[in-house]
A and B are shown apart, each in its own frame.
Chain A
Amino acid sequence: MNHLVEYLIRGIPIGCVFALVAVGIVLTYKTSGVLNLAFGAQAYVSAATFYVLRDPARTNWPMVPALIVSVLLLAPALGWLLDRVLYRHLRTAPPVAKLVTSLGLLVAIPELVKLDFLLGATQKPRPPGIATESIVLTLGNIRLDGNQVVTIVAAAVSVGGLTLLFRATNLGLQMRAVVESPRMTELAGVNADAVGTFSWMLSSFFAGLAGVLLAPLFGQLNSLDYLTLLVAALAAAAFGRLVSIPVAVAGGLGLGFAQNLAAGYLNDLLPEVLATSIRQALPFLALFLVLLLLPGIRRTKESTDPLAGVDPPPPAPVAAVRSRGLTIATRVTGAVAVGGGTLVTATLLDPFWLRIVTQGVILAVILLSVLVVTGLAGQISLCQASFAAIGALITAHLASRMGMSVLLAIAIGAAATAIVGALVALPALRIGGIHLALATLAFAVMFETVIMPIDSVNGGSRQLRVPRPLLFGIDFASDKAFFVLTVACLCLAAGAVLLLKYGTTGRFLDAVRGSEIAAASIGISPGKAKIVAFAISAAIAGFGGGLLASFEKQMGSTTYQGNFSFVVGLVWVVLVITLGSRTVQGAVNAGLSFMLFPQLLEKGLHLSGSVAQTIAFALFGLGAMTYAKHPEGIIDAQTRRAVNAIMRRLRRTRVGTPDSDPEGKSPTVVAPTSVSAADLWGSP
């Protein structure tokens, strides 16, 4: 019993950390409708600034001015900037568009900050706390240091203040109203833009405060740690369905207690390694379970703006009408480009670039999985890199430990990954959209921090050896031969994906994406359709992962860090969605650019490798800002524009009149998306 109380008290400081971040997430979601995955990145900006200012080797500012600049000025300024440049224009955009934008920021912001570090200083500052390290509070045999006390106090004060703001003030009410419908709020005489900007400044201030307060938790100032902490705290926020601040705090404290109880009791029962991983996995398991089981999460489906029909319709993804001749011409061109590219790469490129292009082609295979899950099913998955890693690991274990043929191992790996994909997507039976994206994020972080470090999974300190395949007597051991094989695999995978897209699977997914309830009304099970999509997607990613392992000739912790870490996976997803998640072309372009672009920067501009990588990632992240305007991807948007222009010209030369299409079948018809508003535009 005594132990129990002790464990509980020990849980308070870490519980308050979770609570503080959870409150920040809830605050942003409640006041902007954005599930702000970049919250950690914003926190990192203030923390980095604070410690650079405090750094004795640099400016060596006293505590208070540094705090004022980094938290009181910089953080709200960042919020103001984000609102002005981005979120103000997204206020009526669908939640997934906001999620993708924040995902892009999550990738771009730390890279931009890092760029400053890389160019400016050689050393990353070690984070000291706000308060001095000397112990200030002793409860029995538990000691709380100054930083922990400050965190507890800050959590308590912010909860109180924010609860008061939302419950009792006019501004709080307006902030909540603006999220739901800025237009309706304006009709009540409220300046929605001003309220929205204030919301962003407040939540950004909060991120900055959390960033500075929590920095001492980490050995080194690192944006990744903030992201991991963010995902852990999401469990607490999800308890409160992303909108309740008190419940989020309770959830955060609960997580803290649970972790310490687990640490206390499990250490006696289980081997230490297992006990530690269970303790670490707890927040991610909790997040997953909350999404799977918490009643009412389903009801918190994103509320829609009743005046949404007022906005001019976004460019509709109605396919441009092509003539048969043009279709054949583009297909022939495509085939020639693929064939020619393959030939040139295989014969002319030097070994270095051949390897890069091969990696790009393999990545394109993996990214076809995004086409299935995002392009067809309309879901955002943030764990595609984990799926690829699972495929690679299974391939490696089967091939190196059991001596299985590597192609068979890849196939089995893909099939097994499909099962994992279906399990991860189980919450899809109840939820979709941003909640499902959260479940995949929880899985990705858990896989990286808990499962991957286990020796029997990663093969221990020595990497698992994976051979190159041997098929029908042809040995693919050389890089050239392997490259040709990967191109063949890409064609195979792309063909399969296209068959699915135009077959029953794709059309059912189109229906579910269009309207879940209407799909159910004709007998389609939306949950099953989404789970099938995840399974197929995981299988493709796993297949690509296996190929990559075979290409690298090894798999293990090092290969994982270099190719499959979940942050890299986030960059992939951002890149595909930006370029176009509905087409094979989008996936191929994304795969090749991801591999080629940093190298071209490095060689072309004579930059160091890490700077080139950082610039590339920052640009990829910023590219996601185009998503809200072109949800079909920028390549698709450009293609459609070109096709329309060509078709207009073709028609003009043939018919002689530019607008001889009164039936509205002309490809330039940009149709509204909301039918309820369509009646206002006159019955054609």
Chain B
Amino acid sequence: MTLLEALGITKRFDGICALNRVDLKVSAGELVGLIGPNGAGKTTLFNCLYGLVRPDEGRVLFKGEDITLLPVFKRARRGFGRTFQRVELFGGMTVVEHLLVAARAHARRGGVLQDLLLRGRPTATEQSEAEKVLALLGLTADADRPIEALSLGRARLVELARAIMNQPALLFLDEPFSGLDRTETAEVSEALLVAQREHGTTIMLVEHDITAVQAITQRLFVLDYGTLIAEGPTASVLKDPRVREAYLGVQA
């Protein structure tokens, strides 16, 4: 089943064409990667799909619904999740509080009136849900630490946990391994595979670290100069001579 579909996405910045009629399809349950050389338009495409950038032309469909003009928070309510290249956490909150606020946002309950009626505190269900996700990602020991005291690797796991609390159908990961050393990269990769397995989450990631991409993705899209130059199963795409030339700089 096609989960996400992009049709003819075009985006120009100051007259320069960053994306040129890009089409792509992502099926439910896949773990796909988006790669390409610097300035190929990866981040722009990613943000067009996610909703941070509005494409000049083209449409984005999610489960068949046109969501091109939908703002990020509405997409999140339809099942989009995201982690960020420069980690975006809520300063001053502990790890478990990140998960609890996500749970509350997902439940879409509560508000001023509920707060005034003493119903604002996290519920037992939310607590146990958060504990489950913490355990899944190996964050239980960090639950009550402020996020400011975490290493970058742990911080990325917290972002992932927060996204998972929302039970996303589709998870966007922006360079999930950048700045991590090998142990941490392995940790995050493992967590992604667990999330995909346990929740059936579809995952799309942008990444530079080819080794990590190779290890976990099933399918790849390759962008160069704003055009999709290859797509298909990871192993065969990485062997494609055009990809090797454009991305890896190796003459075929």
Question: Is the pair B116, A524 in contact by a Cβ cutoff of 8 Å?
Answer: no
**B97 and A675 form a contact (CB under 8 A):** no
Name which residue of chain A comes closest to B110, CB basis.
A504
Q: Cβ of B112 and Cβ of A318 under 8 Å apart?
A: no
Closest to B166 in A: A522
Q: Do A664 and B145 have beta carbons less than 8 Å apart?
A: yes
Counting contact residues on chain A (CB < 8 A from B), the size range is: 35 or more
Q: How far is the CA of A505 from the CA of B113 in the complex (A)?
A: 10
Q: Which of A401-409, A507-515, A547-555 contacts B (4 or more CB under 8 A)?
A: A507-515
Contact, CB under 8 Å: B114 / A522: no
Among A503, A672, A679, A683, which residue has its beta carbon within 8 angstroms of that of B148?
A672
With A503-B110, A505-B111 in contact, is A522–B148 under 8 Å at CB? no
Q: Give the chain A neighbours of B166 by CB distance below 8 A.
A: 522-523
User: Please, which residues of chain B bring their CB within 8 A of the CB of A515?
Assistant: 88-91
| Inter-chain contact A517/B72, CB cutoff 8 Å | yes
Which B residues are CB-close (under 8 A) to A514? 89-93
Q: Cβ of A510 and Cβ of B81 under 8 Å apart?
A: no
- Max chain B C-beta neighbours (<10 A), residue from A510, A511, A515, A522: A522
Q: Which residues of B contact A318 (CB under 8 A)?
A: 92, 146, 148
Residue A526 interfacial (CB < 8 Å): yes
- In the bound assembly, the distance between CA atoms of A667 and B239 in angstroms comes to 54
Stretch at the interface among B32-40, B98-106, B192-200, B240-248: B98-106
Option from B71, B109, B112, B145 in Cβ contact (under 8 Å) with A500: B112
How far apart sit A547 and B106, CA to CA, in the bound complex (Å)? 39
Residues of A contacting B152 in the complex (Cβ-Cβ under 8 angstroms): 675-676, 678-679
**Given the complex, which residues of B lie within 8 Å of A524, measured CB to CB?**
73, 105
Q: Is the CB of A523 within 8 A of B73?
A: yes
Decide yes or no whether A496 CB sits under 8 A from chain B. yes
A665–B100 alpha-carbon span in the complex (Å)? 20
A185 close to chain B: CB less than 8 A = no
- With CB as the reference atom, state the residue of chain A lying closest to B76: A523
Interface of A is mostly: helix
- Residues of A contacting B87 with CB < 8 Å? 675-676
**A510, B121: Cβ atoms under 8 Å?**
no
Given A507-B97, A675-B147; A523-B108 close (CB under 8 Å): yes
Q: Does A684 contact B (CB under 8 A)?
A: yes
Interface contact B108-A511, CB-CB below 8 Å:
no
- Please tell me if B151 contacts chain A, counting CB pairs below 8 Å: yes
B149 contacts A669, CB within 8 Å?
yes
Q: Mark B46-85, 1 if CB is under 8 A from A, else 0.
A: 0000001000000000000000000111101100111010
Residues of A628-681 at the interface with B, using a CB-CB cut-off of 8 Å, are 664-665, 669, 671-673, 675-676, 678-679
- A54 shortest CB reach to chain B, Å: 52
Contacts of A165 in B (CB 8 A): none
Tell me the bound Cα distance from A524 to B114 in angstroms.
Answer: 17
Q: Are A683 and B151 in contact (CB under 8 A)?
A: yes
Task: Verify if B42 is at the interface (C-beta below 8 Å from A).
Answer: no
Q: Which of B117-159 contact A (CB under 8 A)?
A: 118-121, 144-155, 159
- Alpha-carbon distance A508/B108, docked complex (angstroms): 11
CB distance from A629 to the nearest CB of B (A): 17
Which residues of B lie under 8 Å from residue A415 when comparing CB positions?
A: none
- Assess the B120–A499 pair: CB atoms within 8 A: yes
Contact with B along A27-66 (1 / 0, CB 8 A): 0000000000000000000000000000000000000000
Contact status A675-B89, CB under 8 Å: yes
| Additional A-B contacts beyond A675-B150, A678-B148, A683-B151 (15; CB < 8 A) | A316-B148, A318-B146, A318-B148, A503-B121, A504-B104, A504-B109, A511-B105, A514-B93, A518-B89, A518-B159, A521-B163, A522-B166, A523-B106, A675-B147, A683-B153
A-B contact pairs, 23 of them (CB 8 A): A318-B92, A318-B146, A499-B116, A500-B112, A503-B120, A507-B100, A511-B105, A513-B90, A513-B91, A517-B52, A518-B90, A521-B163, A522-B81, A523-B106, A524-B73, A525-B71, A672-B148, A676-B86, A676-B87, A678-B149, A678-B150, A679-B151, A683-B151
Chain A residues with CB under 8 Å of chain B are: 313, 316-318, 496, 499-500, 502-508, 510-511, 513-515, 517-526, 532, 536, 664-665, 669, 671-673, 675-676, 678-679, 682-684
Closest 7 CB pairs of A and B: A503-B120, A514-B90, A503-B115, A671-B148, A504-B110, A679-B152, A683-B151
